[in-house]
Amino acid sequence: MDFLKLNDMDLEGKRVLVRVDYNVPIKNGMVEDDTRLKATIPTLNFLLEKKCKILLMSHLGRPQKELKKGKTWDEVKKDSTLKPVAEDLSDILGIGVGFVGDCVDIKIPEDKDIVLLENLRLHSEEEKNDDNFAKKLAANADIYVNDAFGASHRSHASVDAITKFIPSCAGFLVEKEIDELSSLLNPEKPFIAIVAGAKADKIGALKVLIDKADKILLAGVLANTFLKAKGVNIGSSRYDEATFDIAKRMIEMGKEKLIFPEDVVVADKFSKDADTKITKVGEIPKDWMVLDIGEETIDIYKRELKDAKTVLWAGPLGVFEMKKFSNGTKKVGEFLASLNAKVIVGGGDSIVAVNSFDLADKMSHVSTGGGASLEFIEKSGKLPALIALEKVFKK
């Protein structure tokens, strides 16, 4: 994939607009996991050494969706502000990071070397990939740097349309992500994928992984969907109805490769105070729900993984945020850390999981992109934002 990189640009003393992915969990006004912030530090330090004025822009959450649900503008803005992120980044860098309450038609404070602009998605034009909005963003700076791999699978104005209006390149994080994830396009065998978690957007990647992987270990809502498609009783467990028919077809495609839980931890309610028990899959009580994999399944998954040379881990195997349902994610994660294999962890909730169990530095690579890392595999690297950078390079 050909695109301009930081070292290709004349950056000295320039005003640089850096698209980052600071879509991080915030609770009570505090950033709960700053992995994505720390991942951008190499790019930021490089630009500081070049005496650049750095303007950071990011999205956070889905404010337009919240507005449609009936929340007021003031409520949405309060819940969607990036201001806590600026404060956390100041602590990480050891210098004051400024904050501006919008991202277009703004006055940039001159007394700060780094300034974070307000949430891009507070403007509906961002998700519409609107040219006029992109032009306004571009007007803030001399050079644009995409260091937001986690947003690169979206055709949004700040990662796609903007490249039409300003000299553009990739940051160090995007470079690193492409280098690491490219190894999954032609992986060393045996290649085992663990695909789990709650989101249904993994189905597209699964179609590709059925061809590439030797085995695919399923868990979470995704496993529930497939089990229900097989006609297995899953009690009141959550599953994705929209992908039910696709799951049925994929079971036929990958009969020998798809590995399902044999036993599960079930609960009578979605709560840390729930009553729990371990049951065989197919024997789940009517009003109980699956919230983790059981010990027998953990042992099966370890046996499948022990000889792997390449592993992709995308999604926690249970509701790891609650201690009662963290065992599967923790034990499989610790086993992965012990392997003599290249282990790549997909982003999103997987980042939080590996950090929760102090496993991040034991993995080969922890991607900052959740959906983006899977779509990178699904689309052989051809993500909208990366295609936009390629177009700039070929001009």
How far is the C-alpha of 117 from the C-alpha of 59, rounded, in Å? 10
What tokens appear for 286 in the block? 């009517």
Whether the predicted pLDDT of 1 surpasses 80: no
Please identify, in words, the CATH class of the domain defined by 6-178+383-394. alpha beta
**What's 146-187 look like in SS3?**
ECCHHHCCCCCCCCCHHHHCCCEEECHHHHHHHHHHHCCCCC
Task: 361-366: list long-range contacts, CB under 8 Å, 24+ apart.
Answer: 362/337, 363/313, 363/336, 363/337, 364/180, 365/180, 365/181, 366/35
Average pLDDT along the chain: 93
- Residues 6 or more apart in contact with residue 135 via CB below 8 angstroms: 165
Distance CA 193, CA 68 (A): 37
The third-level CATH classification (topology) of the domain covering 186-378 is Rossmann fold (3.40.50)
- Give the helix/strand (H/E) hosting 177: helix 172-182
Provide the pLDDT confidence category of residue 107 given band limits of 50, 70 and 90.
very high
pLDDT at 2 over 90: no
What confidence score (pLDDT) does residue 201 get? Answer: 64
pLDDT above 80 (res 121): yes
Task: Say if CB 321 and CB 204 are below 8 A apart.
Answer: no
The two domains 6-178+383-394 and 186-378 share their CATH topology (first three levels equal): yes
pLDDT in tens, 161-203: 999 999 999 999 999 999 999 999 999 999 999 999 766 667 7
Collapsing DSSP states into helix, strand and coil, what is residue 365? strand
Does the pLDDT of residue 325 top 90, yes or no? Answer: yes
Could you say which DSSP state residue 198 is in?
S
Phi, psi dihedrals of residue 117, rounded to the nearest 5°: -85, 160
Enzyme catalytic residues: 36, 199, 348, 371
83-93 and 41-49 helices cross at what angle (nearest 10)?
70
Residue type, 248: K
The reported pLDDT for the residue numbered 198 is 66
Paired with 267 in beta bridges are 276, 289
pLDDT single digits (tens) 38-63: 999 999 999 999 999 999 999 999 99
Question: 110-114, 295-299, 368-372: which range is least confident on average?
Answer: 368-372
Residue 316 CB neighbours (<10 A): 29
Average pLDDT over residues 119-125: 97
pLDDT at res. 251? 85
CA end-to-end span of the chain:
15
| Burial label, 287 (beta-carbon count in 10 A; 0-12, 13-18, 19+) | exposed
Looking at residue 350, its pLDDT comes to: 87
Q: What is the pLDDT of residues 209-267, one digit of tens each?
A: 888 999 999 999 889 999 998 899 999 999 888 788 888 888 887 678 999 999 999 99
| Nearest Cα residue to 321 out of 349, 295, 297, 293 | 349
Q: Pick the closest to residue 77 from 69, 67, 87 (CA basis).
A: 67
Confidence of residue 352 (pLDDT cuts 50, 70, 90): confident
φ/ψ of 222, rounded to 5, equals -60, -45
Domain extents in the chain:
6-178+383-394, 186-378
Best CA proximity match to 246, nearest among 289, 207, 284: 207
Virtual torsion, Cα 247, 252, 254, 257, nearest 10 deg: 100
Determine which of 62-66, 223-227, 329-333, 391-395 has the lowest per-residue pLDDT on average: 391-395
**With a threshold of 0.75, does the pTM exceed it?**
yes
Asked whether residue 349 carries a pLDDT value surpassing 70, the answer given is: yes
